[in-house]
Chain A
Amino acid sequence: MEILTGLLNGFAVALEPANLLWCFVGVLLGTVVGILPGLGPPATIAMLLPLTFNMNPAGAIIMLAGIYYGAKYGGSTTSILMNVPGESASVVTCLDGYQMAKKGRAGAALGIAAIASFVAGTVGVLGLMLVAPPIAKFALSFSSPEYFALMSLGLALVVLLAGRSIVKALLAALVGLWIASVGTDLFSGTSRFAFGQMELLSGIDFVVVAIGVFALAEVLANMEAREETQLLPVPKGLKNLLPTMQDLKDCRFAFVNGSVIGFLVGALPGGGSTIASFLSYGLEKAVSPRREQFGTGVIEGVAAPEGANNSETGGALVPLLTLGIPGSGTTAILLAALVLWGFKPGPLFIPEHPALFWGLVASMYIGNVMLLILNLPLVPLFAQVLRMPVYVLYPLILGVSMVGVYSVSGSMFDLLLLMVFGMLGYLMRKLDYPAAPLILGLALGAGMERALRQSLMMSEGKLSILVSRPISAVMLSLAVLVLLVPMFGKFNAWRLRALEQG
């Protein structure tokens, strides 16, 4: 009953004309970003975040979430039509989607991708709606030691699945913690790592780092290619976008598989939509009676991963909104957005801001319907976005990045920092250091330090408090176990295989 009341109130918020408009803008931008290879949701959300500061927070989070899940719909378009994944989560869609297109079934592949995304995306939101409130209630009993342990576990999971080298991923996370320490220590008033710069006393803005490491680094990496990527012609005659009844029948299990796997993987920090899509593809192939045909243009091979990467969104929002723990670079930026608007994601978020939580949930139902409508008949139109020359696109991204950073503080110093973090992000890519642990370390750093120091204040300096409480002991043990996994050859081989596929 409580959920139903919340949802009805949420629809009242989401159906306000302004919020409907922001929802539409978000899913539209998300679809375009998803289609464009080389521009991902974290970069887009980071770039647009500063522009939302003057917006109503409900409209702003509805729009940013729309970009997040909208990109997953759009990502399948180029995978199917051109064998070029728009997003990493759509890599596996290439396997059967492109083969279907080559066989003249591009329309059915695009159609099933949109339908599976809609079904699983909706199930993911349903999961979020049902699971988030009880988890938030359970987390009310958490104190500082549990929070420190939880953040450590979240960071450990992201490190585990962020890159081939655990050492590099850990180093990236530690650099994130260091950046989070820059500025005045709120406990003692001591200035730390300011190097005599007045501008650093208030710390380094999350937005500056996120835009630099994601958006600027992405453009710099894409600028490496001397020639503009030759765009393949978009196939014409995509009139028949509706799959046949037989197609839908073949995809029955794929819809369920994608929905469940996507949600569960999404709820685990570090999982992410790429892993979710590969796991559900693997499961679909394992149980299919025609598993030997996978990779040759099997429609379930499109439905399962596309469903999983959309259901993952609902799962990923559970730890973010109920515990304040993001599980990926994109959700870390969403966390920063909520904090910047004055909210504190965690167990009290739902009871204290029901309109925002339920408004977001309701908007995701509406957004999924919008995406289905947008993606089915308008795919050929969206595919035209690919015709935008990169020499127009890249300066635009650089411009929006600079305007975004400048609009936060009006500070030229922040623009200089943007240059520094843009170069850092580029070098990290070149040297195989993953960006997600750095962003997560930055997002969680202040909270981790606060929780650790509060824990030790509670115990009068005894570290044993972290392991004497059952929940924190279990979570810290898991975190240690997660970081030790790569030492075992068999597990590490599995981890590397998953990463290679992703």
Chain B
Amino acid sequence: MEEGTRKPGDLWSGIALAALALTIIIQARQWEYLGPEGPGPGFFPLWYGVAMLALSALLIVSHLRRGYARGNAADWPKLGRAFSTWFALAVSVALFKPLGFVVSFALLTYFIVAVMYRRPLATAALVAVASAGGFYLVFDLALGVPLPVGVLGF
């Protein structure tokens, strides 16, 4: 039944999901399971929690039975690029409060163009300013969709 590829990630994701399933079961047991008016709030979560625990255990066991896969090592440079982008995005969201959307988004764009794609700094600056300005014009001014505002008032 378990035809997945033999990635080491299966083991870790299985463990993480088993932990989530246990959390769900423990929480669900604190809520009413079956009351006089029918099933309580703990009924459904308990059942899918049990199913999740069983399936994650199956994933872990089937992985361990196969052993670790060879030749399936993580491609760290690729992962690094994705994680760097995610981190830059998270920083830009964190900067929304002090700097506002427009400035934070311009910085994010500059980072992606100049650092991730190694384009000339002038190109990065141009794309960053044009994109951020475009968002402000289209969403804030034309469509009336509010953008997060910083201490500078935009």
A residues near B, CB below 8 A? Answer: 51, 164-168, 170-171, 174-175, 177-178, 181, 185, 187-188, 190, 192-193, 216, 219-221, 223-226, 228, 390-392, 394-396, 398-399, 402-403, 406-407, 410, 412, 415-416, 418-419, 422-423, 426-427, 430-433, 448-449, 452-454, 456-457, 460-461, 486-487, 492, 496
Contacts and interface: CB of A to CB of B under 8 A. Distances in A.
Contacts of A426: 82, 86
24 contacts: A164-B4, A171-B17, A188-B40, A190-B41, A226-B81, A228-B117, A391-B113, A391-B119, A392-B131, A395-B108, A395-B127, A396-B131, A402-B105, A403-B145, A406-B147, A406-B148, A412-B96, A418-B93, A423-B86, A426-B82, A430-B9, A448-B44, A454-B38, A457-B38
Contacts of B3: 164-166, 486, 492, 496
Contact of A461 (B34, B89, B135, B143): B34
Interface in B1-34: 1-5, 7, 9-10, 13, 17, 20, 24, 27, 31-32, 34
A456 to B, nearest CB: 5
B31 A432 contact: no
B112 interface: yes
Contact of B27 (A170, A192, A453): A192
B112 A395 contact: yes
Contacts of A395: 105, 108-109, 112-113, 127, 131
B109 A431 contact: no
B45 A178 contact: yes
Contacts of A398: 89, 108
Contacts of A496: 3
B44 A223 contact: no
A187 B62 CA distance: 39
Given A181-B45, A395-B109, A399-B135, 9 more contacts: A167-B55, A175-B20, A178-B45, A224-B82, A226-B77, A410-B146, A419-B93, A431-B10, A452-B44
A453 B39 contact: yes
6 nearest CB pairs, A to B: A165-B4, A457-B38, A224-B78, A185-B41, A395-B109, A391-B117
Chain B contact patch, size range: 35 or more
A412 B32 CA distance: 33
B23 to A, nearest CB: 8
Contacts of B131: 392, 395-396, 399
Interface in B69-107: 75, 77-79, 81-82, 85-86, 89-90, 93, 96-97, 101, 105
A168 B43 contact: no
Nearest to A485: B1
Given A394-B112, A452-B44, A178 B20 contact: yes
Contacts of A412: 93, 96-97, 148
Contacts of A224: 75, 78-79, 81-82
Nearest to B131: A395
Contacts, number: 176
A178 B48 contact: yes
Given A226-B77, A423-B86, A453-B39, A51 B145 contact: yes
B127 A391 contact: yes
Contact of B93 (A190, A390, A391, A415): A415
Interface of B: 1-5, 7, 9-10, 13, 17, 20, 24, 27, 31-32, 34, 37-41, 43-45, 48-49, 51-52, 55-56, 58-59, 62, 75, 77-79, 81-82, 85-86, 89-90, 93, 96-97, 101, 105, 108-109, 112-113, 116-117, 119, 127, 131, 135, 139, 143, 145-148
A430 B51 CA distance: 23
Contacts of B9: 430-431
B51 A174 contact: yes
A164 B10 CA distance: 13
Contacts of A448: 44
A192 B27 CA distance: 8
Contacts of A432: 4-5, 7
B44 A220 contact: no
A415 B7 contact: no
Nearest to B37: A457
B116 A391 contact: yes
A175 B55 CA distance: 12
Given A192-B45, A407-B146, A419-B93, A220 B117 contact: no
Contacts of B127: 391-392, 395
Contacts of A190: 31-32, 40-41
B94 to A, nearest CB: 9
Interface centre among B20, B43, B44, B77 (most CB of A within 10 A): B44
A431 B8 CA distance: 9
B141 to A, nearest CB: 13
B145 A193 contact: no
Contact of A407 (B24, B31, B39, B145): B145
B143 A51 contact: yes
A430 B145 CA distance: 34
B1 A419 contact: no
B102 to A, nearest CB: 10
Given A177-B48, A224-B82, A402-B101, A168 B4 contact: yes
Contacts of A418: 93
Contact of A220 (B7, B38, B82): B82
B17 to A, nearest CB: 6
Given A166-B1, A223-B85, A391-B127, A178 B24 contact: yes
Contacts of B105: 395, 399, 402
A225 B13 CA distance: 24
Contacts of B148: 406, 412
Given A193-B27, A461-B38, A188 B48 contact: no
